[in-house]
Amino acid sequence: MLAVLRHRAYRRLFTAQVVALVGTGLATVALGLLAYDLAGADAGSVLGTALAIKMVAYVVIAPAVGAVADRLPRRALMVTADLVRAGIAVSLPFVGEVWQVYVLVFLLQSASAVFTPTFQAVIPDVLPEERDYTRALSMSRLAYDLESLFSPALAAALLSVMTYDGLFSGTVVGFLASAALVVSTALPERAAVTAPGTGGAYARATAGTRLLLGVPELRALLALNLAVAAAGAMVTVNSVVYVRDVLGLPAGALPLALGAYGAGSMAVALLLPRVLDKVPDRAVMLPGALSLAVGFAGLGAVTGAPGGSWRLPGLLVVWAAFGAACSAVLTPTGRLVRRSVAPGERTAAFAAQFSLSHGCWLLTYPLAGWLGAAAGLNWAVLALGSLALGAALLAVRLWPPTSSADAPSAPAPPDRTHAGHAHVGHAHAAHGHGAHVHADLPFGHPHLAGARRVANGWRHSHGHLTDGLHAR
């Protein structure tokens, strides 16, 4: 998997991602300590509000990025976002009011909502070979998981020799280093936008969402995002409750629980490149989502049991299973988006995916916290487990077994015997089913799975669809 780092441009971009993640991790620890200084016992409320503000920024800003990103230089966009994040990190140690924290967090996360989708859309152009791109996705997943484990340890080491204000300096260094690496990277030419945004600002901002809703596999991906958010929110919000209140363990056991989730995620991320070389995305992502319901059943047993020394190992197993299942869903997501939209539409599609997936977290974070606090963890497990199961079953229904995301890697042999049956553009036969020809879809487009080459395009048949590729 590390062979993908031989690509110079990707190596620099990946390093930029890693150092920015470390900087973000240090800022997370420092923000917690800053909130305690400002709010004392209400620090948890401050951090919870800041987390909600972060999700709102992601949901609101990312679609706006998708509306304008195709008109702006990508490298300049990412560098500007890094510089803005560095500037905000410089300001954080000087705040004296809680509302100032909220404003700066919104600005910081808005800049992240600019950087991340643009970065995600660049990587498929830097690594056009799917084998390389798959390994890059696994590397990215590993980077996120390692950051969640490494940054707190690094913060603890730094706090032994400096105050928490110094952690913000580490954040600044991380963002500046990321900007420098992006500046030094020669990016490939941007693909032409195949369907330029028309209409007003709203139409352009929602273009990526319409792309996602127009392809069955990407509609299924939205449901998969919700299933992952249900499990992830349970881990993020309630791990401390399980460790301290349910199991009666000291605070030092919390990193062990969170580490189990990260270990499960990393194990799957390491295995997936070879697995995805042999099986389609659907065969990995759907079982991963469905297994979350099994994990919630195990969590229910841990939660409802009156006692027993087995509950800590049981919780660690459930958290590791959640991490593995979430990684099985999240790691191939970039492949799915890349295959399902034209190159010129990738930034809009990745921005929409970024926004909508975080919209799921905006729903599940408060559900996990408020329901657990008000009605008890048993009800939180039941509600989020039901949500995960329902979302996974919906994804199974939405994602057809003969998925267009599993497009062949080589063209089908030309077939000129049906050339006379071509229709104009993306139109179907008059009855809306049966054989038809796509005359203007490029080779490798996911919708052309199983299609045969004819004189005027690609010929295939399927049931009636009302997505953006077919006449309504």
**What string of DSSP letters covers 125-192?**
HH--SHHHHHHHHHHHHHHHHHHHHHHHHHHHHHHTTS-THHHHHHHHHHHHHHHHHHHT--PPPPPP
pLDDT bin (cut points 50, 70, 90) of residue 445 is low
Query: Region 422-441: what's the mean pLDDT?
Result: 51
Which pLDDT does position 205 carry in this prediction?
Answer: 65
Top-confidence residue, 247 or 386: 386
Q: Is the domain defined by 208-404 classed in CATH 1.20.1250.20?
A: yes
Nearest to 108 by CA among 161, 33, 57: 57
Domain 1-187, CATH among 1.20.1250.20, 1.20.140.10, 3.40.309.10, 3.30.420.10: 1.20.1250.20
Q: Is 236 helix (H, G, I), strand (E, B) or coil?
A: helix
Average pLDDT for 95-105: 88
Determine which of 152-166, 324-338, 369-383 has the lowest per-residue pLDDT on average. Answer: 152-166
Query: Among the listed ranges 335-339, 369-373, 415-419, 463-467, which one has the minimum average pLDDT value?
Result: 415-419
Mean pLDDT of 177-184: 94
Q: What pTM was estimated for this model as a whole?
A: 0.75
Res 427: pLDDT: 36
pLDDT band at 231 (very low <50, low <70, confident <90, very high): very high
Domain boundaries, the chain: 1-187, 208-404, 407-462
Q: Tokens 């970065």 map to which residue?
A: 119
Out of 98-107, 118-127, 251-260, 378-387, give the one with best mean pLDDT.
378-387
| pLDDT value at residue 45 | 64
- The mean pLDDT of 208-223, rounded to a whole number, is 87
Q: Which residue has the tokens 């190992």?
A: 313
Using CA atoms, how far residue 32 sits from 37, 128, 265, in Å, is 9, 41, 25
Whether 1-187 shares its CATH topology with 208-404 is answered yes
Predicted pLDDT at 59: 86
Rounded mean pLDDT, 236-251? 85
pLDDT class for 406, splitting at 50, 70, 90?
low
- Rg over alpha carbons for the chain, rounded to the nearest Å, is 23
Top pLDDT among 452 and 291 is at 291
Query: How much is the mean pLDDT over the chain?
Result: 81
CA dist 86 → 13, 55, 95, 171, 266 (Å): 18, 20, 15, 7, 29
Place of tokens 């510089």: 83
Q: Is the pLDDT of residue 418 over 50?
A: no
Q: What's the pLDDT score for residue 36?
A: 74
What pLDDT does 464 receive?
A: 42
Q: What is the pLDDT of residue 79?
A: 94
Instruction: Work out the pLDDT band at 72, boundaries 50, 70, 90.
Output: confident
DSSP string, 370-414: HHHHHH-HHHHHHHHHHHHHHHHHHHHHHS-SS-GGG--SSPPPB
- What is the number of residues in the chain? 472
Q: What is the pLDDT of residue 470?
A: 56
Checking if the pLDDT of 83 tops 90, the result is: yes
